[in-house]
Structure 1
Amino acid sequence: MNLDSSKPLYLQIAADIKNNILSKKYKPGEKLPIENALSEQYEVSKITIRKAIQKLSDEGFVKKVQGKGTFVTYQKDKLLLNKTSGFKEVLSTKGHSAKNEVIQASFLNADENISDKLSIPMDTKIVYLERLVWEDNEPMALDKIYFENDKFPDFITKLDDNRSFYQILEESYAIKPKNSVLEINGISANSHQADILKCNIGDPLFYINKISYDENNKPIHYSITTIRCDRITYVVFNNDTTTTNEKIKS
């Protein structure tokens, strides 16, 4: 700490802890040292530490949990709804490590709902893929994907935790989505969702139904994705005259 600075000590401490968070010395979800430890580390009173922590809490960098301590919060990433790329591609461009853990890969016969979504006859053989999307070693989304087996033969054998669904489509089948239609709703996490996504029961989640289309406007896949709201902000960028000159800040 710079005792000769006109900047109050609690602001200097808050800035130092913030730098440690941004540099990932303190990682998202990690508990900060207790007040006594921070007081000794910075050689200031616990009152000064409390003011610094409150400053960080007001700015959304930490969250105080009664009886448990102070935890580093997740800094939400902004995703453009207009983009057809997958989570892994988007998160990687924002400096995150990302992987897709395959939970289930099996064959099903299309029911009425799936046949309607994919514009295929009832009982058509489809591939069902369920995967958990990880960001920086923490689960952030559960993805359930349905697509026609005949369009992507041997797809299951090509599954790889280090390759996204869209990477496999492009690299193995030379197919890249042209556009997508998304329907977004909000739900509260039930016990199963809370357990698999490592959140609390009742936490808000995005619930997204998505159909991606190829260049001929034929459905490629239908998916249902459940995403933690504390990890992602979805942004819509319109091309009309009122928003053309606006820029999205990541």
Structure 2
Amino acid sequence: MNTQGSTPLHEQVRSLLMHEIETEHFTEGERLPAEPELCERFGVSRITIRRAVADLERLGFVRRQQGRGTFVSTRHQIMGTMSVSGFADKVVGKGVKESRIMRSEIIPADDKRAALLEVEVGDPIFRLIRVFALDGVPLSIDDSRYSLTRYPGFDTHITAGTSTYRVLREQYGVEFSEIDRQISVGFTNTLTAGWLERPLRDPLLLVRKVALGTQGEVVHTSKVKIVPSRVSLNVVARADA
């Protein structure tokens, strides 16, 4: 266990056990190892193990039976659904939704980003990275970029729970006309594995997005990294009028 990191030990244990349940290292109905065995395995106290298991029970991954032990519940992988057919990508689920800002910075546009956002090289770009979660379990990372030349002061309106699309509409009069998405597969790296509480090199769904306004201007670009065992994608196709 990483005793020097900022993530509490019980959350680290919870994430590792959750991953093992999701990947069927522990199968449905199987009894988890007893507390002393888990303590020895992870090198933590019984209090830490009990908190981690209590979290798993609250999330529906395990069930505790008095006098018998803790057992893996019926498969509980998908926690939320993300629709990728509208303008905004929103995770819908029964749990408590939250978002955390992991990085917020203003950077000059390099050649690649200037071309994507259709701005001049060196123009100020606002980069916003947020992790979205349900009941404290991370589901996705949204890494977005906005032109501060096109939307001056945009960064000052943003907090963890802010709807960026609402700010664009209400503060800058943006009307969206088109969203271009590309869906592919990627893997966690050292940074994103920690943010998503997943193992290193764990598979992810990647949704690259370019949002356009009614004048054809690029409103923003984003890359959404999704834990596929926790979120299902919902794509709706409609016949042309």
Normalising by structure 1, what TM-score? 0.65
How do 1:58-207 and structure 2 match up within 5 A?
60=75, 73-87=76-90, 90-91=91-92, 94-207=93-206
Aligned counterpart, 2:58: 27
Counterpart contact for 1:127–1:148, Cα < 8 Å: yes
> 2 CA distance for matches of 1:226 and 1:178?
24
Counterpart contact for 2:99–2:130, Cα < 8 Å: yes
Query: Shift in Å at residue 239 of structure 1?
Result: 2.3
Distance 1:95 1:236, change over 3 A: same
Counterpart contact for 2:117–2:219, Cα < 8 Å: yes
Query: Shift in Å at residue 223 of structure 1?
Result: 0.9
Moved over 4 A (4+): none
> 2 CA distance for matches of 1:227 and 1:25?
20
Secondary structure at the aligned position of 1:178 is classed as: strand
Residue type at the aligned position of 1:158? H
Counterpart contact for 1:99–1:163, Cα < 8 Å: no
> 1 CA distance for matches of 2:192 and 2:239?
38
Query: Shift in Å at residue 29 of structure 1?
Result: 6.4
Aligned-residue Cα RMSD (Å) equals 3.0
Larger radius of gyration: 1
Query: Shift in Å at residue 200 of structure 1?
Result: 2.1
Secondary structure at the aligned position of 2:99 is classed as: strand
Residue type at the aligned position of 1:142? I
Secondary structure at the aligned position of 1:143 is classed as: strand
Aligned counterpart, 1:20: none
Map Cα deviations across residues 188-212 of structure 1 (whole Å, 9 max, x no partner): 2233222110122232211221111
**Structure 2: which 5+ runs fail to align?**
1-28, 30-54
Map Cα deviations across residues 100-155 of structure 1 (whole Å, 9 max, x no partner): 21222221111121112112222222111122222222221122111110222222
Query: Shift in Å at residue 216 of structure 1?
Result: 1.8
Distance 1:36 1:200, change over 3 A: farther
Identity %: 17
Which has the larger displacement, 187-196 or 105-114? Answer: 187-196
Residue type at the aligned position of 1:147? Y
Aligned counterpart, 2:15: none
Query: Shift in Å at residue 85 of structure 1?
Result: 1.8
Counterpart contact for 1:86–1:165, Cα < 8 Å: no
Counterpart contact for 1:102–1:130, Cα < 8 Å: yes
Aligned counterpart, 1:232: 231
Q: What is the total number of aligned residue pairs between the two structures? A: 188
Residue type at the aligned position of 1:103? M
Counterpart contact for 1:86–1:164, Cα < 8 Å: no
**Structure 1: which 5+ runs fail to align?**
1-13, 15-23, 40-49, 61-72, 245-250
Map Cα deviations across residues 75-112 of structure 1 (whole Å, 9 max, x no partner): 3433332111232xx53xx4443232122222111112
Distance 1:118 1:28, change over 3 A: same
